[in-house]
Copies of this chain bind each other. A is one copy, B any other.
């Protein structure tokens, strides 16, 4: 019997994943050259479908990397000369911040206790920060920053860049990518694909900055996957190095399929499932909502404090072939994490809640 994954990623695979893999095998996608017309069509198809799905402006480039973690480094190298600023409210936003320090950037952070998130009004941007890094959805804590707050943050910081980590939420947030300079995600979360591909969206202002930095003495923008190299190749739907061709093919297929359903429908279904899960947690004797402020509660990665060791709940559900995530880091034993991605169907969520109730 197959497991149902409610993990925060790698996660439950997209319902049509097997069918798409079979198509890729039949079409020999693993053998085609990344300099062929066939590959360029795959890149273009993927990009066009992501553009529709996430309302990405035509003027922004869409690039592929090995992972979203790689994009943290590429953004910092290509867009920061001296100072970056990070809103830290969990392990992943903290890693983004630490990457900046490793690259000898002067990295500022504003930090929240575990389980708390940021609203626009409380953000204090340091005077010389060139880039503001926000994490729309913190996979480790289940905290989100609302789109409206991110938009206000950018509007009041027109001369700075704003980068949005959408790793475990894209394509669910309605982020205004006309306004936001750069955003990125990985495919093993809400897109329901195997890991090994990061997606980076950036506007022309990002490109200009990276070109300017590349010319400056005493700094460098890296050598691999620099923004100018990615962008130049993207113009003909190519990549600087051999990419995860199969991953790009599969992402295009999933994005196309999501467009057939319609992003509004997917978002509505996601909201409804999230509401159900939070509603259950509100009255459960087994576990309770970890994020106090309703506005900061993630729609895609729901974190609950458990009244017994998380392991007990996780093991009990495993016997029913339902795989839950444990808490992250220090909260491993006292929290569970439940993914609410498009691949987690309403029926699966209902069954999960039924099983949780039985454990009370």
Chain A interface (Cβ < 8 Å from any Cβ of B):
2-3, 5, 7, 9-13, 17-18, 21, 25, 28-34, 65-70, 72-73, 76, 98-100, 102-104, 186, 188, 193-197, 220-226, 240-247, 323, 325
Contact = CB atoms under 8 A, between A and B. Distances in A.
Contacts of A28: 2-3, 5, 13
A25 B29 contact: no
Contact of A31 (B12, B99, B223): B12
Task: List the 9 closest A-B pairs by CB distance, nearest first.
Answer: A66-B66, A196-B244, A30-B194, A69-B241, A99-B223, A102-B223, A73-B224, A194-B246, A5-B31
Q: Which of A195, A221, A243, A323 neighbours the largest number of chain B CB atoms within 10 Å of its CB? A: A195
A325 to B, nearest CB: 8
Copies, count = 2
B242 A186 contact: yes
Nearest to A26: B2
Contacts of A245: 10, 194-196
Given A196-B197, A241-B69, A246-B194, A102 B30 contact: no
Contacts of A223: 72-73, 76, 98-100, 102-103
Contacts of A186: 242
A105 to B, nearest CB: 9
A18 B34 CA distance: 21
Contacts of A323: 31
A67 B241 contact: yes
A283 to B, nearest CB: 29
A161 to B, nearest CB: 18
Given A73-B223, A99-B224, A100-B223, 19 more contacts: A3-B31, A7-B33, A10-B30, A10-B31, A10-B33, A10-B34, A13-B28, A13-B30, A13-B31, A30-B193, A30-B194, A30-B195, A31-B323, A66-B66, A66-B70, A102-B220, A194-B244, A244-B244, A244-B247
